[in-house]
Structure 1
Amino acid sequence: MAMSAGQEDGQPMMEMNTTPLIDVMLVLLIMLIVTIPAQTHAVKVDLPQNIGQPNPPPIEPQKNKITIEPDGRVYWNGSEIDLVTLRQYLDQSVQISPEPELHFQPNPDARYERVDEVLAVIKRSSVTKLGFVGNEQYRNDF
């Protein structure tokens, strides 16, 4: 017998109706999902502000280039390196006066996770001259 409308002798039904309870729980669950803020992840990089120097610096600083390939390999001026070596190179370049420019150019197919790791290493090394190179390749994507 799937459902009973009560016993024949007039006694009340002893089974609890769970349908309203389930409805209330679903409404509460939906309200909870709607009110939870979306999780966002960002790496904050302090980019230099354009001050508008009237004269270029007298000495042209050395330019270092970091590239990231789609398979996750990181290159420093064309040589493959790991993140520990990258940090060492960045710490050495910060000590040079004037500080060399750092050009950052990830491949469009590189994984965001790897790009994020490299940007975090750059931020921790206190590099002040950082440029994102090759952004013009994305101008038609949006």
Structure 2
Amino acid sequence: MGMTVGTEAEEGAMMAEINTTPLVDVMLVLLIIFLITVPVVIQVVPVQLPKVSSVPTTTKPENVPLSVDANCDIFWGLTRLDGPEALRERGGAYLLAEVEKQKARGAKIELPEAHIRADANTEYRCVGGAIFALQRAGYQKIGFISEPPVGAVTR
């Protein structure tokens, strides 16, 4: 509590000063309570992260094996192609030949898949260019071949 000491003439006058010490004390207590309770209120939501597993790819003879190296060179099997445009032309011709072959046999037409294996240091634009060229050639399924993490169990 505050106490004002003054002259007897001022005793009847109103006091114009506000004692802020109790206000500061209350604010500090509230701040401490807030700092203690906030970490308790914020809870961590349990999240189930997906397990990493790899499934061996069933390689069909008609599937297209592609490789993209760190220099953006595209390889069809072991043959180096001269860029995405050459990939589009060769991929379109191969796709058309496979469809004609399946029609001649009278079998249900299943389009071949393209499997891309890219170097770890390859820029995304190189792989993206190969994917775009294959899409323009008419491929419906394009997959990525990767190595599973060390010690991973395959099913």
Q: State TM-score, norm by structure 1.
A: 0.49
More helix by percentage: 2
Between structure 1 and structure 2, the one with the greater Rg is 2
Higher relative contact order (Cα pairs below 8 Å, separated by 6+ residues): 2
